């Protein structure tokens, strides 16, 4: 009963916009340090076997510079307190998943070693579409009516989502010229979308 009550206390009206990503870590101190410590220990084990692990820790859903700086501090604390981890190659970056993150990408780039564009969520939040609810119901109607030229969850929207990616690339690189840029989303597997994303200046999909 106690465990059920604890689980129910986390119930939300709109989980997609709720306590997930870095927001959950903000409410659960130590969560990211625990996860990063486990990652570091695994990397040290690989290195002990002769491997050369390269670690990229990606903070999801950040929307402000201070939020990302705080999360980076958790990761750096784990590195500092894990014996041997200081010798590992660790990059700390963030997902660009919201329109705000794209618009303030310059500020985020001051804290991040890399960006990964989460185009699935960026599409949902740009359109105001919940993919789980509209893709099977509304999107076919909009396609048939010519309201949408393509399913935005399969083909990157060039005029909204694509432009936000472009803005984030330009603003991020203006503050951090060596910023590594990638894409984590379904669009990274669609040829037309890949062509568009590469044209914006991303390094990999």
DSSP designation for 147:
S
Q: pLDDT class for 2, splitting at 50, 70, 90?
A: confident
The fraction of the chain above a pLDDT of 70, given in percent, is 100
What is the strand order of the sheet 114-117 is part of? 54-59, 89-96, 114-117, 180-183
Predicted local distance difference test score (pLDDT) of residue 135: 93
Phi, psi of 171 (to 5 degrees): -70, -35
pLDDT at 8: 80
Does 108 score more than 80 pLDDT? yes
Whole-model pTM over 0.95: no
pLDDT digits (tens, 9 = 90+) for 150-198: 999 999 999 999 999 999 999 999 999 999 999 998 999 999 999 999 9
Q: Which residues are CB-neighbours of 92 under 8 A, at least 6 positions away?
A: 56, 57, 59, 72, 75, 76, 112, 113
Give the alpha-carbon dihedral of 5, 6, 8, 9, to 10 degrees.
Answer: 110
- Alpha-carbon distance 48 to 31, whole Å? 26
Q: What share of the chain is helix, strand, coil (3-state, %, to 5)?
A: 55, 10, 35
Looking at residue 11, what is its pLDDT? 83
pLDDT of residue 13: 72
pLDDT for 97 beyond 90: yes
DSSP 204: B
Q: pLDDT digits over 43-74, tens only?
A: 999 999 999 998 999 999 999 999 999 999 99
One DSSP character per residue, 161-179 reads HHHHHHHHHHHHHHH-TT-
> For residue 29, what pLDDT band results from cuts at 50, 70 and 90?
confident
């Amino acid at each position: 009963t106690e465990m059920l009550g604890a689980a129910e206390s986390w119930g939300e009206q709109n989980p997609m916009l709720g306590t997930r990503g870095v927001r959950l870590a903000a409410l659960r101190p130590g969560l990211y340090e625990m996860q990063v410590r486990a990652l570091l220990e695994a990397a040290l084990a690989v290195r002990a076997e002769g491997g050369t692990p390269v670690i990229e820790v990606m903070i999801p859903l950040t929307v402000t510079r201070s939020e990302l700086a705080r999360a980076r501090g958790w990761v750096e604390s784990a590195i500092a307190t894990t014996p041997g981890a200081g010798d590992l190659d660790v990059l700390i970056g963030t997902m660009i998943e919201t329109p705000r993150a794209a618009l303030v990408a310059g500020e985020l780039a001051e804290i991040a070693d890399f960006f990964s564009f989460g185009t699935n969520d960026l599409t949902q939040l740009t359109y105001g579409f919940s993919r789980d609810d509209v893709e099977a119901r509304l999107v076919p109607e909009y396609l048939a009516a010519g309201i949408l030229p393509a399913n935005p969850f399969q083909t990157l929207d060039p005029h909204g989502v694509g432009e936000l990616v472009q803005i984030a690339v330009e603003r991020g690189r203006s503050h951090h010229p060596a910023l590594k840029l990638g894409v984590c989303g379904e669009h990274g597997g669609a040829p037309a979308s890949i062509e568009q994303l590469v044209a914006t200046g991303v390094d990999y999909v």
